Structure 1
Amino acid sequence: MELDRADLTLLELLQRDGRATVQALSEAIHLSARATLNRLRKLEREGAIEGYRALVSRQAAGEPISVFAEVALKDQRQANVQRFERRMASAKEVVGCWIISGRYDYLVRVACPTLDRYHQLINAWLDDNTLGIEKIVTNIELATIKEFAGFPVPRPG
């Protein structure tokens, strides 16, 4: 994917404000609204822009607790890995899941209304032998210092 300065600036601006108008974006990159809209459509088509979403406040979401669970699987057979990953992808409480290196296989971010609900959730995972979970280490978020707000967009030289 070949991205020029205007494309990169558009990506950066949209990460900050996904509701920016085409007119405002066009003024920022010094192109016509039509040319800017064409660039946006191209970025969407090529997958540089995967979608648009609203960042809902925790208060509006019922102020869920956020937990980071380090998960180790008993073995890495493909069937177990796929089953585990499908379960994580389909669980509404799982708001992020990453394969990681180190002592654990996955880092799973979970948002639950209460610790009791989190405990029920992980007990269900541990009781499900088909998931092949060996161990879960729980880290409760105490405060958010910085939340994910987008990837750094490279600056052309």
Structure 2
Amino acid sequence: MERIEMSGKELERLEVLRQVLDGVVSQKAAAERLGLTDRQVRRLLRRYKAEGAAGLVDRRRGKPSGRRLAPSFKERVIARLSQCYADFGPTLAAEHLAAEGLNVSKETLRGWMIEAGLWQAARGRRVTLHPPRPRRARVGELVQIDGSPHDWFEGRGKRCTLVAFTTMPRAG
């Protein structure tokens, strides 16, 4: 007996198509449930009757994408990066390569550079430089500190010479 690997989506299709063949569900209801058109459901039913469950498996599985860039182009880009732009980041390197006629997206280039060992991915979130201040004991409490030598009262009052710590509730 042959083993068939199916995705969850393909298994759901198989289950719904069996219900259609058993007369439990109509083709129109199956189309709505699967998010397909009636015509697509009829096409899937024909393929299921002819080939069985294997007929519902995606025929593109295991094949390379049609949008993939040629391996020779990738080798040319990596060689050019190694020669001239080894210390560049992916975004800047993509801009310089585009000026030379080697058009490749910065995200594709990032993957290629990581694969070739020319770039290291970021190590995750960075530590915050200014951690938040600890909360006060009571709601609305505020510490005021005045240690400046400036004449804030413009001669109308005593000049502040010491650091003064006062705890007072915040307005509001």
Structure exhibiting the larger radius of gyration computed from Cα positions = 2
Higher RCO, Cα 8 Å, sep 6+: 1
Do they superpose with TM above 0.5?
Answer: no
Which bracket does the TM-score occupy, shorter chain normalised? under 0.3
Structure with the higher fraction of residues in helix conformation? 2
TM-score (normalizing by structure 1): 0.25
TM-score (normalizing by structure 2): 0.23
